Structure 1
Amino acid sequence: MNKGIDYYIETKEKNEKICTELKSEISQIGYLRLVDFIIGVVVSAYIYSLNQYVIFSIVAVIWIGVFIYLVKLHERAIERKNYAEALVTINKRGIERVQGGWNKFEDDGSEFIDEDHPYSGDLDIVGHSSLFQWINTTATYMGRLKLKDYLLNPLKDVSEIKRRQETVKELSQEVETRQKINAEAMLIRDKSKDPEELLQWAGTNDVQMDSIWIKLIVNGLTLAFFTIVFLLIFTELISYKYILAIIALNIVVLTAANKKLSGSLDTIHKYKDGIKIYERIIKIIEDKEFASQAVKDLKKGFYTDTGKKASEVIGELKTISDLIADRRNMGYIIVNLALLWDFRIASMLYKWKCQYGRYLKNWLEIIAEVEALASLSNISFENEEWCFPEVHEGVSLLKAQNLGHPLLGHRRVSNDFTIKDQGSVIFITGSNMSGKSTFLRTVGINLVMSYCGAPVCASSFSAAIMDVYTCMRVSDNLEKSISSFYAEILRIKKIVSASKQNSKIFFLLDEIFKGTNSIDRHQGATVLIKQLSRRGASGMVSTHDLELGELEKEMPKVANYHFQEHYDNGKLNFDYKLRKGISATRNAMHIIRLAGIEVE
């Protein structure tokens, strides 16, 4: 059995048991809270009725203290249960990925679809049943964006690709660490929330909340409040009107400053769950020792200029955010009126931002980077037989053994394939449904994965650095009044333009110029292939135009391959194995008959 699925099943069952135990514990704590409250109120009321005020005070402090302790205990148990439930979800998804149910995952990255991208639409990089949907385990907003950038903007430097490969290899073995990070990230309420507002707050200047004048006003009014309260309780020098007056003055001051105070305070409150989780994730990464240099370099970013750890700094922000959250409590009103607490929290927040605000964006980007790397690492963990490709700057373009499509699971058929020289063009012919288009996508998606630093679906794979361009899925665009043929021309124009700027182009063309007549299609394809090859661009073309195969005789860098079908008792079958040469079989009429159309 697959090692990955063994781990997922074991971990899922273990955490399901933990969830069951914690649900029972949470229920028991809830009952204890209720019992403590009822007994505490009844006993306190009885003692108070006996005029035993000292004993009443002691009993009240005890049962209220126990109640608060049970509340905290209840909250921690709920957090542990939520964490265990997140791990159950993570491992369920791992099982589904291995078993082929990943195309039902809700997050498929459809919003990243870009019709103008050189290859993403044709190679199923984002969208339904895509590479993104299959491998994505990110749970933060920035993590999703980082993974999207990995897939749509792959690396072009060999050293950077090798560096990322080493990281992915290491993280693939650190499944427990990856799942800890993933589980914590999943606990963020509204986890898809864009942190832009938080980062904008961290990077901008606002009202200086620790100025000498603000300190004088806040401390002066606070001193006045407690002086009046003391005099009112212990002397007869003043009346209650003075306390009402100072409260009214504090209300005026708080109201006047409310707009300036609430902006920052509300922003931090909005992201308080995320801040707490960011601290935990950073702590996991800080405490873990990594061998790969790329992760070591990332971890170096988790320090301030003075050497303070990011987890400690975010922990301070979390503490402030907890104080801000208390503004929603009824008791906070009294504290705020007495101490002008809004000003004091705002001052703490201002000091934090002045010292550390400039680091926040980088720290969140490091978390996003680790999440994206963890997504790539799942590929290796779940597919041990796949290889990490050898990527180079040489002229040998592509060589693969047992190359298969990574998204097809148990349905995939693997092939050996080689493209030797720059400027080489491979024609793929074959009958309908024989596997031509799928093979083009197989080569393309594995090239993209190799440039991302991920393992590929092959037993061995080496490739030169090239820019991938495709023209495969083209259709009419009624909104832009563009026919499918013209849409294809526009796609090919981009490939031609790119080849003029860079000879290291790898193109994939499916049924080239299929929107026009056979004569124009043949002539246009011939001219295009000669031009691209002459400029050093390399690629693959699937076609039903068997005459294009004749270019092999006049162009040494052109080669023909084909897929073929066979019949068993009149039933059409395919083996999807790549063979050299031009296709010698046809099946269109057989398929037409299968559709119920009578052929005379």
Structure 2
Amino acid sequence: MNENIFVALLIVGILVIFFLISFFDQKRRLRKMKRRMLYYYGRDREIEYSDEILSVIGAYTEAKDTMVDDITWNDLDLDSVFLKMNHTWSFAGEDYLYYLMHIPAEGPVTCGEQEEMISYYQTHEKERLQMQMEFAAIGKNHSSSAYHYIMNSIHLSKNVPIQHYGALLLLIVSVICVIAAPATGIGLLILCMGVNIALYMSQRRKLEASIQALHLFLKLEGSAGRILKRKLVCSEEYRKRLEQDYKKLKKQIGNVSFIKSGNADSQSLTEIVLDYIRMISHVDCIQFYKCMKRLEKSIDVVEDIISTMGFLESLISIGSLRESLPYYCIPEFTEEPVLEIVDAYHPELSEPVSNSVKAERGILITGSNASGKSTFLKTIALNVILAQSIHTCSARQYKGAWFRVFSSMALRDNLYNGESYYIAEIRALKRIFDWEGNETVLCFVDEVLRGTNTVERIAASTQVLKKFSERGILCFAATHDIELTYLLEERYGNYHFQEQILEEEVVFDYLLYEGRSNSRNAIRLLEILGYDPDITAGAEKMVEGFLATGKWTPAAG
């Protein structure tokens, strides 16, 4: 008897130690997480994602209607901007922030309320930190899109396959045999465990991504409940919306404790034990099929609660971006098709130079290579997208219409499709003409039709830019062709960037000036870099001849 009591107490003691270790380990991880959140708020997290991970994050966006197409997104390197401002801790927040930066097609109707919520979480650290901890409790899975697998699994939901019930029944029978006839039962239990684990591993591989996605969703549902209980949603409209979705889902989900507790990334002792229970009982597979069947009736609610939670977390990321910027402004939207930006800068540059511009008509920008033309175009385009997506501009003042933004800036030869640069460029420009919608189109073109010969380039560029103006398209175009500034001066304003050569060195100030460029430093740069004097002298002579007669003189010899 004493020996039995000792064994029982030993087992109880081991269990107590086991759970105490897990408890204090969890406390330690939570404290570490809070410190990270406080430290990184308003700072760059320096996240680097592969193209594969960005593709997983983008699955949510692909299912939605947005205003920024792939060409514009890639031209402006918006993946990099997204990573700079990505202070999310959950899959829902990360997916939604990526979607938000593509500008949802609904328009500017929610900007006022969005601004109030961003400001609230900027100024209420306690509530913000509690929200972030709840989002961190949800987590992420970059191996597959949780949103994609949740929605697909619900659409394809079916009854529980019989083999999972069979595995559970076999386990129950084996346990009964151990109690009734230990000698026989133990052997049967070992055999049962081997069979069940083998079957589980073969079936689980097919369901892995879907179960992990459901696991994340169930944690999202749990976090939503705690956020509501703590009254952390600062908007009454979004609080009611979240509460309605949560109550509907609570009725549908049912008992999913073994899926809820599962976490493939967890190394805690509790999770290791639970993993073995799942393998020998198949209980998580059974709960998965049952849950998906029930959620089939509430698929719209599932999508809505993911969007709402993602939206709420994205607001915290926007606030963090604001805190990291030297200065920012809140955009003002107008009915007039104009754009006015004061002291705009590119948020990714470590030492940016700010510029201001007011565009009531199209703008042509001239200047030497590396003088700042492309960076200026990207800065203005990015600020327009940030204004319309996250209600934040890296500028002192922003005023403009609600634009449909297009660009044609960083195109390359498409060897895979057999397209030359010129074909890729004219396709990119054609999509601007082809777009039909109510918004004023704002486009950014770097080196119009650079992929063809000079004579045809100037002629075609003139007609393309003229047609943009006639169609009411506001166009910012950078060009080396000074001829365009004369041919289009009645329709386009002229601005330029300039440089100086000081002590055999080229110095750029990266400031925007009114008027066309009159720079002629290209040949001088050849001299500075040590080109043969015959080359530079011959080039100067040809330029002088062309300026005097309007014709090129053939190279002698």
TM-score range normalised by the length of the shorter chain:
0.7 to 0.9
- For residues 433 and 259 of structure 1, do their structure 2 counterparts lie closer, same or farther at Cα, with a shift above 3 Å needed? closer
* Structure 1 counterpart of 2:395: 458
Q: Is the 8 A contact 1:269 1:321 kept in 2?
A: no
- 1:590 counterpart (501, 524, 527): 524
* TM-superposed deviation, 1:442: 0.7
SS class of match (1:145): helix
* Structure 2 counterpart of 1:207: 159
* Cα deviation digits, residues 196-239 of structure 1 (max 9, x gap): 445545555533799xxx99xx99x9799979967x89xxxxxx
- 2:76 counterpart (123, 126, 135): 123
With 289-298 and 68-77 compared, the bigger mean Cα shift is at 289-298
Distance in 1, Cα, partners of 2:429 & 2:409: 10
Counterpart of 1:546, as a letter, is I
* TM-superposed deviation, 1:180: 4.9
* TM-superposed deviation, 1:327: 6.5
Q: Is the 8 A contact 1:405 1:457 kept in 2?
A: yes
> Normalization by structure 1: what TM-score?
0.71
Q: Is the 8 A contact 2:131 2:232 kept in 1?
A: no
* TM-superposed deviation, 1:447: 0.4
- For residues 278 and 245 of structure 1, do their structure 2 counterparts lie closer, same or farther at Cα, with a shift above 3 Å needed? same
* Structure 2 counterpart of 1:79: 26
Q: Is the 8 A contact 1:426 1:559 kept in 2?
A: yes
* Structure 2 counterpart of 1:40: none
Q: Which runs of 5+ in 1 are unaligned?
A: 1-52, 234-239
- 1:543 counterpart (479, 485, 508): 479
* TM-superposed deviation, 1:367: 2.9
* Structure 2 counterpart of 1:377: 319
* Cα deviation digits, residues 361-415 of structure 1 (max 9, x gap): 44334333333333222222323731110123x1242111111112213x11112
Q: How does 1:72-151 map to 2 (within 5 A)?
A: 72-90=19-37, 93-94=40-41, 97=44, 102=46, 105-106=48-49, 111=55, 117-126=70-79, 130-151=80-101
1:445 aligns with 2:382: yes
* Structure 2 counterpart of 1:194: 145
Q: How does 1:481-500 map to 2 (within 5 A)?
A: 481-498=418-435
* Structure 2 counterpart of 1:432: 369
* TM-superposed deviation, 1:560: 0.8
Counterpart of 1:290, as a letter, is V
- 1:534 counterpart (470, 476, 482): 470
SS class of match (2:384): helix
SS class of match (1:533): helix
Q: How does 1:149-548 map to 2 (within 5 A)?
A: 149-182=99-132, 188=139, 190=141, 192-195=143-146, 196-202=148-154, 205-207=157-159, 270=212, 274=216, 277-278=219-220, 281-286=223-228, 287-293=230-236, 295-305=238-248, 316-318=255-257, 321-322=260-261, 328-329=275-276, 358=298, 359-383=301-325, 385-392=327-334, 394-409=335-350, 411-420=351-360, 424-498=361-435, 504-548=440-484
Q: Is the 8 A contact 2:215 2:259 kept in 1?
A: no
Q: Which runs of 5+ in 2 are unaligned?
A: 63-67, 264-270, 538-557
State the identity %. Answer: 21
* Cα deviation digits, residues 396-452 of structure 1 (max 9, x gap): 42111111112213x1111221112xxx21011122221111111111000011110
Counterpart of 2:481, as a letter, is D
Distance in 2, Cα, partners of 1:572 & 1:56: 90
* TM-superposed deviation, 1:527: 0.7
SS class of match (2:400): strand
Distance in 1, Cα, partners of 2:178 & 2:222: 44
- For residues 432 and 201 of structure 1, do their structure 2 counterparts lie closer, same or farther at Cα, with a shift above 3 Å needed? closer
SS class of match (1:539): strand
Distance in 1, Cα, partners of 2:303 & 2:439: 38
- For residues 355 and 399 of structure 1, do their structure 2 counterparts lie closer, same or farther at Cα, with a shift above 3 Å needed? same
Distance in 2, Cα, partners of 1:570 & 1:320: 69
Distance in 1, Cα, partners of 2:83 & 2:175: 60
Counterpart of 2:522, as a letter, is A
* Structure 2 counterpart of 1:35: none
Counterpart of 1:512, as a letter, is V
SS class of match (1:530): helix
Q: Is the 8 A contact 2:499 2:506 kept in 1?
A: yes
Distance in 2, Cα, partners of 1:547 & 1:458: 32
> Normalization by structure 2: what TM-score?
0.75
- For residues 155 and 453 of structure 1, do their structure 2 counterparts lie closer, same or farther at Cα, with a shift above 3 Å needed? farther
Distance in 2, Cα, partners of 1:430 & 1:462: 26
- 1:558 counterpart (492, 495, 500): 492
